[in-house]
């Protein structure tokens, strides 16, 4: 969960610096120039800031890096953190600096002397993104961590509104991380649905479709995945109507496999514990909807997540079974561990049938193959529409979230031909992430702009990411917010 930060945005006040307890953050440009606020700190500390700037450590430091002076004389603060950052640094560099500050400060109170920094909002957002740890199940961390962050910046009243919007997006990122980090005995399909229902408090409409509803709709591909589990399969529909009345919504679809054993096609034991994150796509969708609601996005967006658990049992789906999707296509299940696409295909078809969206994006931790191809730096993007895909890639670049377009084509479709059904759920080992996308494309109507994002490599990682500690990254919430702002919101 996030460290509970209380934010305060105030105009620069030199006389308030000396008495601040906690940590004080000073911004120094790469040419070693400091502003009026920094000069006051330097004076109070009897030249300690100037000596640090003249040091070899500062000279060798990269932009966005922090040098800390612990227990400086002359101020009440227990540390002064010096950030190497040019005043007119771009948004991503300012966000990087914010992340570095948060790592240095931890859960302490802080006074950030932003002054006239051009992209102070991004620095604030970077700080908030990194002020996160998942310690809900550690007995030594029974109390919530809280910190008061005061930001001194020019035109504080004007910039505070922009900061609040940025922080609303961070709330969505943190919600995604919480869901993705949560162990599967806690985040069952029922508990996941309950947490999504709680989003009603933020002004969204939430509807839960239970197994009887799914059976009536003909979602037998999705239900086949969950039939071996005691946890009931569900589809949750979340609507945010911030745009024009009765205008068609944009649709977000999330894979929500709360745990994936592989089913009868059982995964190896080593690393199976990581499959708690196989609901990462649904987590991104949920976090995006929370942030859209909190920032009052002027757009109509509907999100649908398919919640299932893939378990082996006497009732589990078998390799060789044939199921009928909601669309009516029959699917030969060659491998029960290729279950995510079976969940998504029914939810995607339902979204188009019910909402006729202006466009549709699905997100899923779908294939290990995408990790082989792109590592943990980029999500794989597949699309039938250049305008949507270009907008998505541009949004990801703006937000510093790696994404790379992958191909589709008839040659890959042929790999999914089945002898006994309309299609099989996997091809051979070659191009595994592409054939998975090709399978999903069968369930996209001709007039629907669509993109599939395989986030298997970026949803949760064993090392820190630019904005997050080890574990769930929340990748995609910022990108989708940017895309919806660019494509759906009108000034």
Q: Catalytic site residue 145?
A: no
**Residue 120: pLDDT band by 50, 70, 90 thresholds?**
very high
Residue 136: pLDDT over 90: no
385 DSSP β-pair partners: none
pLDDT bucket at 138, cuts 50 / 70 / 90: confident
Residue 194 has pLDDT above 70, yes or no: yes
DSSP string, 195-256: HHHGGGGGT-EEEEE-HHHHHHHT-HHHHHHHTTSSSPPEEEEEEEE-SSTTPPPEEEEEEE
d(CA 90, CA 61): 18
pLDDT at 143 over 70: no
Q: Can you list the domains of the chain with their CATH numbers?
A: 4-154 (3.40.220.10), 175-487 (3.40.630.10)
Mean pLDDT (the chain, rounded): 96
Is residue 316 within 8 Å of residue 336, measured between CB atoms?
yes
Among 267, 397, 405, 485, the one annotated catalytic:
267
Q: Which helix (H) or strand (E) holds 449?
A: none
Mean pLDDT over 51-78 rounds to 95
Burial pattern 32-50, b for ≥16 Cβ within 10 A else e, equals eebbebbebbbebbeebbb
Catalytic residue among 130, 341, 424, 442: 341
Q: Each residue of 418-468: pLDDT tens digit?
A: 999 999 999 999 999 999 999 999 999 999 999 999 999 999 999 999 999
In this predicted structure, the answer to whether residue 407 has a pLDDT above a threshold of 90 is: yes
Q: Which residues of 364-387 are buried (b: 16+ CB within 10 A; e: fewer)?
A: bbbbebbbebbebebbbbbbbbee
**Count of CB atoms within 10 A of residue 105's CB?**
24
Token code pair at residue 39: 């000069």
Q: Where does the pLDDT of residue 276 fall: very low under 50, low under 70, confident under 90, or very high at 90 and above?
A: very high
Tell me the Cα Rg of the chain. 24
**Does the annotation mark 267 as catalytic?**
yes
Whether the CB-CB separation of 299 and 250 falls below 8 Å is answered with yes
Whose CA is closest to 87, among 32, 165, 22? 32
Question: DSSP character for 274?
Answer: G
Give 325's pLDDT tier (boundaries 50, 70, 90). very high
Task: State the Cα–Cα distance between residues 465 and 33, nearest whole angstrom.
Answer: 30
For residue 142, pLDDT over 60 is answered with: no
pLDDT at 264: 98
The dihedral over CA atoms of 252, 476, 226, 371, expressed in degrees to the nearest 10, equals 130
CA distance 211 to 220: 10
Which SS3 state, helix, strand or coil, does residue 437 take?
helix
For the stretch 83-92, pLDDT in tens is: 999 999 999 9
Residue 220 confidence (pLDDT): 98
Task: Tell me what the mean pLDDT of segment 201-213 comes to.
Answer: 98
Question: What pTM does this model have?
Answer: 0.97
Q: Can you tell me whether residue 121 is helix, strand or coil?
A: helix
CA nearest to 16, candidates 71, 80, 67, 76: 76
**Residue in this structure with the two tokens 């919640």, named with its chain if needed:** 307
Adjacent-strand bridge partners of 68? 81
**Res 1 pLDDT > 70:** no
pLDDT value at 2 more than 90: no
Contacts of 184 (CB under 8 A, 6+ apart): 258, 259, 275, 276, 309
Query: Given this model, what pLDDT does residue 141 score?
Result: 60
Q: Give the up-direction half-sphere exposure of residue 290: CA atoms within 13 A in the CB hemisphere.
A: 27
Q: Exposed, middle or buried: residue 84 (CB in 10 Å: 0-12, 13-18, 19+)? A: buried
Q: What is the pLDDT of residues 361-393, one digit of tens each?
A: 999 999 999 999 999 999 999 999 999 999 999
**Position 139 pLDDT exceeds 90:** no
pLDDT mean over 120-129: 98
Query: Given a cut of 80, is residue 490 above it in pLDDT?
Result: no
């Amino acid at each position: 969960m996030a460290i509970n930060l209380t934010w305060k945005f105030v105009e620069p006040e030199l006389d308030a610096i000396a008495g601040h307890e906690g940590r004080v953050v000073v911004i120094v440009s790469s040419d070693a120039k400091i502003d009026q606020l920094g000069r006051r700190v330097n004076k109070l500390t009897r030249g300690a800031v100037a000596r640090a700037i003249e040091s070899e450590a500062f000279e060798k430091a990269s932009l966005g890096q922090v040098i800390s002076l612990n227990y400086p004389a002359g101020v009440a603060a227990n540390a002064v953190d010096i950030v190497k950052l040019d005043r007119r640094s771009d948004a991503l560099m300012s966000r990087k600096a914010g992340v570095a500050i948060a790592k240095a400060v931890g859960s302490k109170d802080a006074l950030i002397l932003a002054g006239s920094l051009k992209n102070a909002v991004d620095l604030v957002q970077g700080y908030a993104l990194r002020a996160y740890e998942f310690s809900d199940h550690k007995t030594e961390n029974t109390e919530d961590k809280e910190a008061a962050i005061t930001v001194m910046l020019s035109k504080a009243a004007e910039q505070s509104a922009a900061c609040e919007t940025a922080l609303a997006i961070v709330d969505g990122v943190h919600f995604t991380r919480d869901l993705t980090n949560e162990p599967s005995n806690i985040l069952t399909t029922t508990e996941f649905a309950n947490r999504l229902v709680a989003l009603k408090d933020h002004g969204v409409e939430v509807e839960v479709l239970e197994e009887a509803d799914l059976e009536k709709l003909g979602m037998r591909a999705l239900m086949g995945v969950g039939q071996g589990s005691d946890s009931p399969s569900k589809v949750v529909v979340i609507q945010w109507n911030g745009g024009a009345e009765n205008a068609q919504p944009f649709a977000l679809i999330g894979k929500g496999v709360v745990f994936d054993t592989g089913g009868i096609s059982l995964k190896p034991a080593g690393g199976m514990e990581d499959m708690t994150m196989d609901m990462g796509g649904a987590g991104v969708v949920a976090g995006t909807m929370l942030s859209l609601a909190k920032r009052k996005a002027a757009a109509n967006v509907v999100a649908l997540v398919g919640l299932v658990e893939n378990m082996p049992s006497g009732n589990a789906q078998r390799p060789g079974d044939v199921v009928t999707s909601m669309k009516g296509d029959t699917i030969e299940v060659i491998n029960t561990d290729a279950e995510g696409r079976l969940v998504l295909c029914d939810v995607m078809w339902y979204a188009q049938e019910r909402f006729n969206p202006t466009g549709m994006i699905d997100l899923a931790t779908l294939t290990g193959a995408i990790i082989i191809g792109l590592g943990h730096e980029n999500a794989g993007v597949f699309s039938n529409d250049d305008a949507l895909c270009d907008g998505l890639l541009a949004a990801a670049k703006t937000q510093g979230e790696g994404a790379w377009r992958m191909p589709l084509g008839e040659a890959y479709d042929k790999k999914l031909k089945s002898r006994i059904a309309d299609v099989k759920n996997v091809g051979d080992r070659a191009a595994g992430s592409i054939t998975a996308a090709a399978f999903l494309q069968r369930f996209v109507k001709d007039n629907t702009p669509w993109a599939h994002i395989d986030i298997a490599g970026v949803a949760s990682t064993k090392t820190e990411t630019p904005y997050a500690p080890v574990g769930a990254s929340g990748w995609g919430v910022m990108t989708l917010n940017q895309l919806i702002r660019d494509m759906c919101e009108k000034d």
